[in-house]
Structure 1
Amino acid sequence: MSILVLNAGSSTLKYALFDELAHEQLARGVIDWQTQSEKVRLELQTQSASQTQSRSDISNNRDAVKWILHVLADINLGESIRAVGHRIVHGGTYFCQPTLINEQVLQSLEQVSKLAPLHNPPALMTIKAAQKYLPEAMHVAVFDTAFFADLPPSAYVYPIPYEWYEQYGIRRFGFHGISHQYCSTRAAEVLGRQYDDSLRLVICHLGNGCSATAVHGGRPLATTMGFTPLEGLMMGTRSGSIDPGILIYLMKQKDFDPEQLDQSLNHQSGLLGVSGISSDFRQIEQASQAKNERAQLAMKLFTERIQSTIGSLAVLLGGIDGLVFTAGIGEHSPLLRSCVCDKLPFLGLKLDEVKNQSAHADCDLATIQSAGRILLIQTREEHMIARETERLLELSQSR
């Protein structure tokens, strides 16, 4: 028996298969149909081997789910799936915890899709396809926003007319919650601390999307992403927080419409917008080291915004016991970690450069003298989703 996890994006579908207790990963992979090639590529990695396949007839998540199940069946791993965990980016105010999926839940997800038009519709298509091909399995929705349901009002209410919150539901939701929850629990394990004690953590999820969260005693106190994933840190193609007056100016004086602003802020800004080179941080690093001035500026902007965010979250926490770097950039860029930590000794955080250069997953990069620890944690969102799915599976069987 096994648990399948499906993590749907607008042009990718990540998947992972776990044993029925969600302890051991049996297989994982990704389908990406946003490529230059006419054929869509599927990657599969098991405990003993890896393979790739290509097809030209895959254009959406519905087709991708069917292909994944076919490939798993070919290696005798697809016949005993008893539950499927689905990552849902936005649960709105409807969902504050993992939820068994039924028709009512699907209807609520349809309603909240307008808040995440790039992410929730593909996830809904994935759910419906998985229900069709695995009708006997239990299906569970795990929400990126759920971890932040415990935010205090001072963290989720915006300083705007309060009626906007009451009438329109405009509030901070926060995102990357599955990653932040996993990394905070794993950080406690690495540090040998109880998750629900007074442990003060700042989690920096740095990938193409970026966010930072203050976690105290296992609960989030603040997070940088807001009503949408656009707020907060500078990202690969997203601006992060900017002066809202810029948008008013562009609409009034330059005749920008909402679609233009959406495209510019979500897809043409951030590292790509400043550097003019790429949203891929690896290319920004290379260009910066080659003395490209705009790449250097992008690096500096990115670094300083992370530094200032860590500082502000540290104030809310009253100090930092652990700073966590995770996700694609956070896990794989020693240069970025070094640049960020350069200004943090005043918080008692001192990076060991030797450890930083030879870092591996789930390790401490701080010097012996450092008052707070600096951790590299490999985020495992699929593992977290599998855990939550297994928990609901056991709960449903015990009733």
Structure 2
Amino acid sequence: MNILVINSGSSSIKYQLIKMPEETVAASGLVERIGLDGALIHYKSGDFKLTKEVDVPDHETGLLKITTYLLDKEFGVISDKDNIQVVGHRVVHGGKTFSETVEVTEEVKEKIKSVFPLAPLHNPHNLKGIEVAEKVFDKAKQVAVFDTAFFQTMPQKAYQYAIPKKFLEENDVRAYGFHGTSHKYVSEQAIAYLDRHEFPSSKIITVHLGNGCSITAIKDGKAIDHSLGLGPANGLIMGTRAGDIDQSVIFFLIDKLGYTAEQVNNILLKESGMYGLTGYSDMRDIEEKSAEGDEDCRLALYMNGYRIKKYIGSYIAAMNGVDAIVFTAGIGENSSVIRKIVCDDMDFLGLQLDPRKNAVRGKTVRAVNLPEASLKILVVPTNEELEIAKQSFAVVTK
């Protein structure tokens, strides 16, 4: 079965064509700068790679361009667009309505629309991707996979905020969580690596570190706590997002310094985090500058690691133990520096990093702890597209 996985953003479409149940990627790529000058389409199939500047005024044009490449007689991988039987869509927010992956219906689309206020930067574009795919691949089944669904197992003591109950009961104000497809995928990979015969009751902490960052406590395969909340802004320090902050700072900026609420929101989401601390949002630049002696960059790295340490400690307490700490996503998989900062001075927990193993990059699940360490430190490459394909396949074949 051919499943086209789509991650539709405000000005981009990330895609993969995955053959299931073989779990093999036939083609992948990205359409970027949709609606802007200099739009680009990237396409990869096997050893063939192509990047081309194209005119892409809207998402429908972008998806049609992708289809043209998939059908190309020279480097395409399908002979007819109807060879795509399923289109799996990443949808950021499912609110409290969706606790699992679903086939798209008119009712599902209306419910996705109803939670626009909870994810105004993401859900409208996710829904647009669904509507466009329905037109382009009119014979395929459309499936929605929700980032928030994995966290529906969190207990109320973890997801409810200590504010008047009416906001939960009347307005659904609570912690929902994000990066769910990533946390689900890497936790399952980690549990399989640990071997359930040895760990029949698993306690895993997954640390997703990219431009957006989050951390999850996962007990027996189910999320019990998570660092992101109503929106994807709190918790760990991120590329441009502040993460946890005393709410008094917000009112100080508004009441004392004269910023508007919109300006403060923009500051916290787009001008803070590692960018606000250093002037750089890319961790590679920050690590390079730190190595050259930039004190702002050095401090930012240690602030970043310190925040992760605190969450690890609290989640170990929440689960009454832990079997493995799992690092994933762009920074988690590739930054030996951040992993070292996080794991240093944590030996009282049995967290002992092997410097040699930590310095090696790889594309498979690997342990980077010392052999004698009582706690596993794993690096697990995430694969959100494959997870979406697996969940979509399960829905249409059950």
2:316 matched residue in structure 1: 314
Counterpart secondary structure, 2:313: helix
Give the CA deviation at 1:76: 3.5
C-alpha contact (below 8 Å) 1:196/1:218 kept by paired residues: no
Counterpart secondary structure, 1:375: strand
C-alpha contact (below 8 Å) 2:102/2:143 kept by paired residues: yes
2:5 matched residue in structure 1: 5
The separation in 2 between residues aligned to 1:25 and 1:143, in whole angstroms, is: 21
Report the TM-score when normalising by structure 2. Answer: 0.95
1:63 matched residue in structure 2: 61
C-alpha contact (below 8 Å) 1:204/1:330 kept by paired residues: yes
Give the CA deviation at 1:195: 11
Q: Provide, for residues 134-173 of structure 1, a one-character-per-residue CA deviation record: whole Å limited to 9, x for no partner.
A: 0100000000000001101111011111121112111000
The separation in 2 between residues aligned to 1:343 and 1:180, in whole angstroms, is: 26
Is residue 187 of structure 1 aligned with residue 190 of structure 2? Answer: yes
2:354 matched residue in structure 1: 352
Give the CA deviation at 1:22: 5.4
The one-letter amino acid paired with 1:71 is Y
1:254 matched residue in structure 2: 257
1:84 matched residue in structure 2: 87
The separation in 1 between residues aligned to 2:351 and 2:257, in whole angstroms, is: 45
C-alpha contact (below 8 Å) 1:237/1:272 kept by paired residues: yes
The separation in 2 between residues aligned to 1:183 and 1:9, in whole angstroms, is: 23
The separation in 2 between residues aligned to 1:191 and 1:351, in whole angstroms, is: 17
Q: Provide, for residues 268-318 of structure 1, a one-character-per-residue CA deviation record: whole Å limited to 9, x for no partner.
A: 000000112x11111111111111121112111111111111111111121
The one-letter amino acid paired with 2:221 is G
Aligned residues: 392
The separation in 2 between residues aligned to 1:242 and 1:190, in whole angstroms, is: 36
Residue 107 of structure 2, aligned match among 104, 107, 111: 104
Q: What is the 5 A alignment of 1:133-172?
A: 133-172=136-175
The separation in 2 between residues aligned to 1:22 and 1:279, in whole angstroms, is: 37
The one-letter amino acid paired with 1:76 is V
The separation in 2 between residues aligned to 1:222 and 1:263, in whole angstroms, is: 27
Q: Provide, for residues 71-96 of structure 1, a one-character-per-residue CA deviation record: whole Å limited to 9, x for no partner.
A: 11111326310000000000112211
Give the CA deviation at 1:237: 0.4
Q: What is the 5 A alignment of 1:173-252?
A: 173-193=176-196, 197-252=200-255
The separation in 2 between residues aligned to 1:197 and 1:360, in whole angstroms, is: 27
Give the CA deviation at 1:389: 0.6
1:337 matched residue in structure 2: 339
The separation in 1 between residues aligned to 2:120 and 2:246, in whole angstroms, is: 24
The separation in 2 between residues aligned to 1:194 and 1:125, in whole angstroms, is: 45
Counterpart secondary structure, 1:170: coil
1:72 matched residue in structure 2: 70
Counterpart secondary structure, 2:115: helix
2:303 matched residue in structure 1: 301
CA RMSD of aligned residues (A): 1.7
Stretch moving more, 130-139 or 191-200: 191-200
The separation in 2 between residues aligned to 1:382 and 1:374, in whole angstroms, is: 24
The separation in 1 between residues aligned to 2:158 and 2:46, in whole angstroms, is: 42
Give the CA deviation at 1:255: 2.4
Is residue 53 of structure 1 aligned with residue 52 of structure 2? Answer: yes
Give the CA deviation at 1:125: 1.1
Give the CA deviation at 1:60: 3.6
2:19 matched residue in structure 1: 19
Q: Provide, for residues 191-232 of structure 1, a one-character-per-residue CA deviation record: whole Å limited to 9, x for no partner.
A: 222699411110000000000000010111110000100011
The separation in 2 between residues aligned to 1:383 and 1:129, in whole angstroms, is: 22
Stretch moving more, 209-218 or 246-255: 246-255
Residues 22 and 260 of structure 1, relative CA distance in 2, 3 Å threshold: farther
The separation in 1 between residues aligned to 2:316 and 2:77, in whole angstroms, is: 49
The one-letter amino acid paired with 1:73 is L
C-alpha contact (below 8 Å) 2:205/2:324 kept by paired residues: yes
The one-letter amino acid paired with 1:309 is Y
The one-letter amino acid paired with 1:324 is V
Give the CA deviation at 1:184: 0.4
Give the CA deviation at 1:13: 1.6
Q: Runs of 5+ in structure 2 lacking a partner? A: none
Q: Runs of 5+ in structure 1 lacking a partner? A: none
The separation in 1 between residues aligned to 2:104 and 2:198, in whole angstroms, is: 29
C-alpha contact (below 8 Å) 2:351/2:376 kept by paired residues: yes
The separation in 1 between residues aligned to 2:200 and 2:110, in whole angstroms, is: 38
Residue 388 of structure 1, aligned match among 387, 391, 396: 391
The separation in 2 between residues aligned to 1:258 and 1:64, in whole angstroms, is: 35
The one-letter amino acid paired with 1:321 is D
1:268 matched residue in structure 2: 271
Counterpart secondary structure, 1:379: coil
C-alpha contact (below 8 Å) 1:22/1:390 kept by paired residues: no
C-alpha contact (below 8 Å) 1:330/1:336 kept by paired residues: yes
2:374 matched residue in structure 1: 371
Percent identity over the alignment? Answer: 37
Give the CA deviation at 1:20: 3.4
Give the CA deviation at 1:34: 7.5
Report the TM-score when normalising by structure 1. Answer: 0.95
The separation in 1 between residues aligned to 2:197 and 2:190, in whole angstroms, is: 10
1:44 matched residue in structure 2: 43
The one-letter amino acid paired with 1:61 is H
C-alpha contact (below 8 Å) 2:34/2:58 kept by paired residues: no
The separation in 1 between residues aligned to 2:146 and 2:203, in whole angstroms, is: 24
Give the CA deviation at 1:62: 2.5
